[in-house]
Amino acid sequence: MAANLKEVRERISTVNNTQQITKAMKMVSAAKLRRAQQAIQQMRPYANKLNEMLRNILSNLEGESSSAFAQERPVEKVCIVVVTSNRGLCGAFNNNVSKAAAQLVEEKYSEQYNSGNLHMVNVGKKGYEYFKKRYPDINYHTDHIALFDDLNFDSISKVSQALMDGFQEGEFDKVEVAYGQFKNAAVQYATVVQFLPVEKLEVEETGNQMKADYIFEPSMEGLLEHLVPSILQTQFQKFVLDTHASEHGARMTAMDSATENANELLKELKISYNKARQEAITKEILEIVGGAAALENG
């Protein structure tokens, strides 16, 4: 019985220590989430409007002028960008993003994968670890895997510029990005979007294509040369900031859940400990009473 009591005391101590760690991690993630959430909420409307404007412009340039980033060609070489976090302990967040990208490999680009023409750019270590075990034959590009250690625009733009250069040079015919779209601390969506070539606006039901009402100064070609890469870099920055906020939201939620589970476990362990103590005390009392009765009878 004494051994059982000692074991329960050790378990209570272990759960208490674990609970202190989860509480601390929750507080750290909550502080980081506030900054990350503010960054993506300020960035998202701007990036979405720029992307809408870009698609609108490029949808109306056929026969006049066009951008190299909007040219569609037979999809022989594909690049999938997987944006996950560097660290775990954030629930199923990283797995959900990785599974969304894996679904692309299995269902959409299996032919490119089998022919050795599937490339993957990993931003965040967890996505790389997931895919390296399951798909060792993918052509991995890990130059920017630790991007989340430095999230300034210059660092992020190096990744998007490398993707744009690869598309222009024919290294990739299509680039898709899997990332975590942030809604709030409790909800994050694993999302896949086409980055290159830039998707054009759909034709309206009437059959008339939406026309962009823009005046270009000094020239359409000169403006597009600088405008398109800038908008694409902003769009990619949104993917990264979305994932960054999603990571901290998922971790905060996971650590809150772990803390609550530790509370429940502590209650159960304390009840078990008190029952064991009561049994031990009752047994000792019975032994004393039995011994006293034996002496009297003797």
What is the pLDDT confidence band of residue 234, given thresholds at 50, 70 and 90?
A: very high
pLDDT of residue 3: 56
Give the pLDDT band of residue 206 (cuts 50, 70, 90): very low
pLDDT, tens digit (0-9, with 9 covering 90-100), for 93-110: 999 999 999 999 999 999
List the one residue out of 73, 74, 71, 140 whose CA is nearest residue 105.
Answer: 140
* Residue 49 confidence (pLDDT) above 50: yes
Residue ranges and CATH numbers for the domains of the chain are 2-21+256-291 (1.10.287), 22-254 (3.40.1380.10)
Q: How far apart are CA 53 and CA 185, in angstroms?
A: 30
Helix H, strand E, coil C: the string for the chain is: CHHHHHHHHHHHHHHHHHHHHHHHHHHHHHHHHHHHHHHHHHHHHHHHHHHHHHHHHHCCCCCCCCCHHHCCCCCCCEEEEEECCCCCCCCCHHHHHHHHHHHHHHHHCHHHHHCCCEEEEEECHHHHHHHHHHCCCCEEECCCCCHHHCCCHHHHHHHHHHHHHHHHCCCCCEEEEEEEEECCCCCEEEEEEEEECCCCCCCCCCCCCCCCCCCCCCCHHHHHHHHHHHHHHHHHHHHHHHHHHHHHHHHHHHHHHHHHHHHHHHHHHHHHHHHHHHHHHHHHHHHHHHHHHHHHHC
pLDDT, tens digit (0-9, with 9 covering 90-100), for 213-224: 667 777 777 777
Given a contact cutoff of 8 angstroms between Cβ atoms, the answer to whether 70 and 197 are in contact is: yes
pLDDT in tens, 122-181: 999 999 999 999 999 999 999 888 888 888 888 899 999 999 999 999 999 999 999 999
pTM of the model: 0.84
What are the pLDDT digits (tens) for 238-260?
Answer: 999 999 999 999 999 999 999 99
Q: Which amino acid is at 97?
A: V
The token duo for 160 is 């998007």
Which residues have a Cβ under 8 Å from the Cβ of 1 and sit 6 or more positions away? 276, 279, 280, 283
pLDDT score, position 189: 93
Q: Are 175 and 79 in contact (CB under 8 A)?
A: yes
Mean pLDDT of the chain: 87
User: What residues are annotated to the active site?
Assistant: 90
